[in-house]
Every structure is written in structure tokens, then in C-alpha cells.
Amino acid sequence: MSDKSYTILVVEDDPAVRNLVSTALESRGYQHLTAATGNAAIASAATSDPDIVLLDLGLPDMDGVDVIRRIRTWSTMPIIVLSARAEDADKIEALDAGADDYLSKPFSVGELLARLRTTERHLGYMAEDAAPQQSTFVNGDLVVDFAAGTVALEGRELHLTPMEYKLLCLLAHNIDRVLTHQYILHEVWGTSQDGDLASLRVFMGTLRKKIEENPSRPRYIQTHVGVGYRMVRV
Ligand code: CA
């Protein structure tokens, strides 16, 4: 349990899932609010200013992705999508619309609480970032010196290609967030052609060989199959 009591807005039209989530949150001492429609969710996000939103994508009155777009017009509050749909396209659309993370239904209470802890850590770092921008990024044994443009692992300087460096910086700046393939391609290559997904995989492979002790079991960069990548705080 965290020192600060976070308020979570649970947006879910299925009463069974809503009750399950509510019970799990109560057991861990979270404050929570609930909404069963997209319009109620937007109103509650605006008036109650929750710390984190858990958002079902399939709502009776509007698409959850539109709820994200609306909230993003005024707030950067973390939004975790709860998706019952098997299609990756919905999760990807939600992430590109500004969701921070997702949970695929059915999920366990343990997974839900783990995702909330990650988001809380991220909120803590966001508060620290209100201080002047750090010019050095440290994650475990990995150090990126943005000012010098250098990367070191366990104190040894790594030689990255310009593309590998850009890719690493993008993931580092967005630590704990799942970045979609499309977003990465747009930010690093300035393109979103599907054909470039192959080059993204190649660069990710060579980057991992340099920063991961065991590239087949990566420690720093997670693969989200069919969705994208996330740098995790180690
Ligand atoms: Ca639903």
C-alpha cells in the first residue's frame, strides 16, 4: 500500500467486473469512484479529479477511446484501459489516443494491483520531474547522459548507432509506458508505414544485444506482442 491514498475512477458497465475491481481496490485502501457510461466517466474525471482512471473500452453510450480523447483535452491523468476485445487494434488505438497502459480481460486482481503500483511510481516520478529536467537518466545499471549523448552499462560506455540511441532515448523518456509500434515509428523515423515495422524490430534487436545481458529474456525493454514496447524501471 502506498503512503498517499490514491483515488481511482473505475469506468465499467459490467456490474460483475465493476464490483470485482471495487472490492480489490477497497481491500488495498484505495479510494475509488465508479462510472458505468462514457458520459458519466468524463463528468466524474472533470469534477472529482481522480489520480488514475481504469477504463473499459466497450461502454454502452460511446467508445472508450473517445473517453480518452476527451479527458486528454484537459488532463494527463494516467488512464489504464481494460479491454475485453481480443483485437490488438483497439488497445493500440487507445494507447495512441493517450492511454498509459492496458489490461486484457480476464485479468487477475494481482495483475490489476501490479499495474496500479507501476502507475503510482510513474506519478511519483512525474511529480519529481516538476523540478528542472534531468539531463541524466538512470535505470538499474543503464545510464543515458542526454547532454553528452552517451550511454553506459555498468559503467562501461556503449557504442550505439544514431537510430539505436534515438530509440533508447524515446523509451527512456517514456519509462513505464507502453509505446505502440506506430508511435515509435513516427517519433524515431518520422513515418508510420507498416513496412518499417521490420526495421524497428531489427533496431530493437541490435539495441537489446547491447543493453540486455540476455536479449531473449530482456530486463529493460518489454515486448508487447502486436502492440509495441515498454521500458520498465528495474
Ligand atoms: Ca463493457
All three cell numbers of 26: 477497497
**Ligand 1 center from residue 73 Cα (angstroms):** 23
pLDDT of the residue at 195: 65
How many Å lie between the centroid of ligand 1 and the Cα of residue 119? 22
pLDDT of residue 1: 44
171 pLDDT above the threshold of 70: yes
Distance 37 CA to ligand 1 centre (A): 9
DSSP letter assigned to residue 147: T
Centroid of ligand 1 to alpha carbon of 84 (angstroms):
8
Cα 59 to averaged position of ligand 1 atoms, centre (Å) = 5
Q: State in Å: Cα 232 to ligand 1 middle.
A: 29
Cα of 85 vs centre of ligand 1, distance in Å, is: 10
Q: What is the pLDDT of residues 1-34, one digit of tens each?
A: 445 689 999 999 999 999 999 999 999 999 999 9
* pLDDT value of residue 189: 83
Stated pTM of the model: 0.77
Question: Which pLDDT value is given to residue 2?
Answer: 44
Quick: pLDDT tens for 35-91: 999 999 999 999 999 999 999 999 999 999 999 999 999 898 999 999 876 667 888
Map out the domains of the chain with their CATH numbers: 7-128 (3.40.50.2300), 136-231 (1.10.10.10)
**Ligand 1 ion: nearby residues, β-carbon < 5 Å:** 13, 56, 58
Given a contact cutoff of 8 angstroms between Cβ atoms, the answer to whether 143 and 152 are in contact is yes
Ligand 1 centroid from CA 56, angstroms: 6
Q: Compute CA distances 101 → 83, 104, 124, whole Å.
A: 11, 10, 16
The reported pLDDT for the residue numbered 153 is: 96
Place of cell 480481460: 105
Q: What is the pLDDT of residues 91-118, one digit of tens each?
A: 889 999 999 999 988 899 999 999 999 8
Ligand 1 centre to CA of 34 (Å) is: 13
pLDDT tens, position by position, 181-228: 989 998 888 876 666 888 899 999 999 999 999 988 999 999 999 899
Residue 58 alpha carbon to ligand 1 centre in Å: 4
- Give distance in angstroms: CA of 154 to centre of ligand 1: 46
- CA–centroid distance, 26 to ligand 1, in Å, is 21
Q: What CA–CA distance (Å, rounded) separates 91 from 65?
A: 9
What whole-number distance in Å separates Cα of residue 123 and Cα of residue 127? 6
